[in-house]
Amino acid sequence: MHWFYEISVLGYKYNMNDLAASIGVVQLKKLPKMNKRRSEIIRRYLNGIERIKGIQPLLPFEPENYFYQMFGIRAERRDELMIFLKSKGIATGCHYTPLSLQPLFKPYAYGCDYIEKEADKFITLPLHADLTNEEVDYVIENLKSFQ
């Protein structure tokens, strides 16, 4: 599955270089506008999925009060839905795999039954400031048409 990943070795923390930092400083000027647009998109997603059976927001999103880097849903048939959406040209992600299921942390895992069961339902949908309303509606319509 294209969304599967594993943490099997310890890695390093890399700090950004000066060039990346200078690009980031310029991008910060655009942040309020991008945050506003992402909030609009999340509200559109929330309204669009409201009555879709088997799909719920991943969190109790409050786009009027907070800014989010991702928009996720819970779906009982996650893997099938992700493959279906991919066939329609819609990129999705599996944002979270519990650390207790990762090879590196497995020896330390205990009592994580709930999240291990729930994690198989998580899907992230496209969310970036350049998404058009038509593109968001296309995602929503395909979520509705999935059976």
pLDDT of residue 44: 98
Residue 27 has pLDDT above 70, yes or no: yes
Q: In which band, very low, low, confident or very high, does the pLDDT at 117 lie, cut at 50, 70 and 90? A: confident
pLDDT of residue 119: 87
Q: Which residues contact 94 (CB under 8 A, 6 or more apart)?
A: 1, 3, 4, 5, 78, 82, 122, 123, 124
What percent of the chain is modeled with pLDDT above 90? 70
pLDDT of residue 10: 79
Q: What is the CA radius of gyration of the chain?
A: 17
The first and second tokens of residue 114, run together, are 């709930």
| Residues 51-86: tens digit of each pLDDT | 999 999 999 999 999 999 999 999 999 999 999 999
Q: What is d(CA 140, CA 143) in angstroms, rounded to the nearest whole number? A: 5
End-to-end CA distance of the chain: 20
| Residues 70-79: tens digit of each pLDDT | 999 999 999 9
Q: Which strand (E) or helix (H) includes residue 75?
A: strand 71-75
pLDDT of residue 113: 84
pLDDT of residue 129: 95
Residue 135 has pLDDT above 80, yes or no: yes
Residue 23 has pLDDT above 90, yes or no: yes
Torsion of CA 72, 34, 21, 92, to 10 degrees: 30
Does residue 63 sit in helix, strand or coil?
A: coil
**Domains of the chain, CATH where assigned:** 36-145 (3.90.1150.10)
Does residue 57 sit in helix, strand or coil?
A: strand
pLDDT of residue 99: 82
Are 131 and 105 spatial neighbours (Cβ–Cβ below 8 Å)?
no
Are 83 and 38 spatial neighbours (Cβ–Cβ below 8 Å)?
no
Q: In which band, very low, low, confident or very high, does the pLDDT at 116 lie, cut at 50, 70 and 90? A: confident
